[in-house]
Structures are given as structure tokens and as C-alpha cells.
């Protein structure tokens, strides 16, 4: 086993370009999935890379480095549109996990129950992927291809997540249902971002996780919300029911069955709407 701990992104990309390595960020998914206390194989540890750290405002929006931890996101001074992401950060495992686990690892692990994904979808976030051959960007919804599948190519590292300025408007929230209140994998979770003026919802972004291989935006419901008031349920309930039945594909598993998950989403969305619109 060889353990690489590069200090620059260029060094890391050269190492990864030379042959396959297991990329290690916080290790909270990687080590758990190894099934043994020791990780096998050749490791590329990203913890020495300053280029993957930090949260900053840019000319075009916000940049969150891939190695930013959930604890850092929870404590960051970000606009209210990020409140859903910050709330999700506070619910990823317990504090010990939040201090190690990164936003990049949550995305690259591509679990359907990854709590970071729905808020990032409502923020129209893009990922920045870099290899020896250059960089590319794509929306989070395209990056995630299925259960544990991403668009990451051999030799690529996820460097940062970018949120465009247009999506940093409004207020936001996050609701997660598990078998208990904390330290739990989601049965279902919902993220919502609303732009409201004079009590009317002008723009809405709503995403649901743990109810399909990749978290989904509820586009029909979003459209029904636009121009409505949050309490005008006659206007948006049919679209919500339709999206839940057509866009989601929950599974039966040890945590909940599919029918329960659909009902849970209905309740979570309705409650979160009242909370964010308040």
C-alpha cells in the first residue's frame, strides 16, 4: 500500500493521472465502506490541498471548496438562501462526523440518502472537476448519475461546488425524516428555496432526497407555487401529489416502505413550505 499526501493540486493530479488511486477526503464513507479498520489499496489523501478548502464569494456567486466540512458549512456566514444547506450540514451524522466529513465526499459517494444533495439542487449548484487535462463544470443533477454513480472520470478530482448568484436569493429550509431525531440516515428529506414578495411566491426550488436513485427537483410543484400564496393549498396540492407519484421512485427497505416514504414527502413538503414562507 502506498499513501500519498500531496501539498498542491498539481501534485495530486499528476499522481492520479499516473494510475488509479483511492481518493480520501474525510474518510467517513470510504473507511466505513471498506468494512475493515484499515483501508486497502493505494491512497491519495486530499487533506493537504489548500485549493480544495474555503468558502468564498466570487463575482458570479459562491464557491465552496470540495474539502469544506459540514461543520464549516454549518458555521459559515452565508446568505439566507443557504439556510437549507446549513440545516442539512447540522444533520449529517453527529458533530464528530461533521468535523471530518466533506461536501465533496458527500457528492462523490453518490448515496441516494446524501443530505447535502437536495439543498445543492435548490441552489442550482455546479461541480468543478479537474484533471491533468483541464477543468470542466456541470450541474450537480448531471454529475449524479445513479446509486453510487457519478460523472467523475478516471484522473479527475472534484475541486469545488459553485452556486450562481441568481440562486442566492430568497430564503430556504431543510427537513429530514429518520427513524429518530438525530444521527440517522434519511427515510426522506426535502430542501426548499423560495423567493417571496408581497406574500406571493415568485420563484420556488424544491428537491426531495432518499426517494429515488438521485434526489429530484419537484418541477411541477415549483411551477404551481409560482404566483401562489403558501397557504393556497388548492392551487399547489394537485401538482405536489402528481410530482410525488411521477418523479419519485422510493424503494421498500429496512427503514421504510415506498408508500410510507411518499406520504412522508407530502407531509415534509407541506410543513416546510409553511415554515420557509413564514
Ligand X SMILES: Cc1cc2nc3c(=O)[nH]c(=O)nc-3n(C[C@H](O)[C@H](O)[C@H](O)COP(=O)(O)OP(=O)(O)OC[C@H]3O[C@@H](n4cnc5c(N)ncnc54)[C@H](O)[C@@H]3O)c2cc1C
Alpha helices (H) along 18-82: 30-34, 70-75
Stretch in the footprint of ligand X (CB under 6 A) among 28-36, 79-87, 137-145, 234-242: 28-36
CA–CA dist 111, 167 (Å, integer): 24
> Phi, psi (5° rounding) for residue 99?
-75, -20
Which listed residue (4, 5, 15, 27) binds ligand X by CB under 6 A?
A: 27
With binding defined as CB under 6 A, does residue 125 bind ligand X? no
> 74 or 185, CB closer to ligand X?
185
CA–CA dist 185, 199 (Å, integer): 35
Ranked by CB distance to ligand X, the top (closest) residue is 105
Which listed residue (6, 12, 13, 24) binds ligand X by CB under 6 A?
A: 24
Place of cell 477543468: 135
Site for ligand X in 66-85 (CB under 6 A): 66
> 83 or 222, CB closer to ligand X?
83
With binding defined as CB under 6 A, does residue 25 bind ligand X? yes
Burial 206-216 (b: 16+ CB within 10 A, else e): bbbbbbbebbb
CA distances from residue 153 to 34, 79, 109 in whole angstroms, order as listed: 21, 33, 14
Which listed residue (13, 43, 46, 194) binds ligand X by CB under 6 A?
A: 46
| Binding-site ranges for ligand X (CB under 6 A) | 22-30, 32, 46, 66, 91-93, 97, 100-102, 104-106, 108-109, 114-115, 152, 157-158, 185
Amino acid at each position: 500500500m502506498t499513501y500519498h499526501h500531496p501539498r498542491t493540486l498539481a501534485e495530486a493530479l499528476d499522481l492520479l493521472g499516473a494510475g488509479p488511486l483511492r481518493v480520501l477526503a474525510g474518510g467517513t464513507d470510504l473507511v466505513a465502506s471498506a468494512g475493515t479498520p484499515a483501508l486497502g489499496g493505494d491512497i491519495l489523501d486530499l487533506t493537504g490541498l489548500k485549493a480544495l478548502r474555503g468558502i468564498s464569494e466570487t463575482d458570479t456567486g459562491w464557491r465552496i471548496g470540495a474539502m469544506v466540512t459540514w461543520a464549516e458549512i454549518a458555521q459559515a456566514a452565508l446568505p439566507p438562501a443557504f439556510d437549507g444547506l446549513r440545516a442539512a450540514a447540522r444533520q449529517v451524522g453527529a458533530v464528530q462526523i461533521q468535523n471530518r466529513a466533506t461536501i465533496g465526499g458527500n457528492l462523490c459517494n453518490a448515496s441516494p440518502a446524501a443530505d447535502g444533495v437536495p439543498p445543492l439542487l435548490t441552489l442550482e449548484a455546479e461541480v468543478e472537476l479537474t484533471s491533468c487535462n483541464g477543468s470542466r463544470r456541470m450541474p450537480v443533477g448531471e454529475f449524479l448519475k445513479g446509486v453510487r454513480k457519478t460523472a467523475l472520470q478516471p484522473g479527475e478530482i472534484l475541486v469545488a461546488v459553485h452556486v450562481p448568484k441568481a440562486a442566492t436569493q430568497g430564503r430556504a429550509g431543510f427537513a429530514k425524516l429518520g427513524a429518530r431525531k438525530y444521527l440517522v440516515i434519511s427515510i426522506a428529506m426535502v430542501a426548499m428555496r423560495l423567493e417571496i414578495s408581497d406574500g406571493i411566491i415568485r420563484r420556488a426550488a424544491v428537491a426531495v432526497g432518499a426517494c429515488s436513485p438521485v434526489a429530484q427537483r419537484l418541477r411541477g410543484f415549483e411551477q404551481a407555487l409560482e404566483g401562489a400564496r403558501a397557504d393556497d393549498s388548492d392551487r399547489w396540492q394537485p401538482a405536489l401529489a402528481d410530482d410525488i407519484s411521477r418523479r419519485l421512485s422510493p424503494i421498500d427497505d429496512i427503514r421504510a416502505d415506498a408508500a410510507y416514504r411518499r406520504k412522508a414527502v407530502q407531509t415534509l413538503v407541506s410543513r416546510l413550505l409553511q415554515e420557509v414562507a413564514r
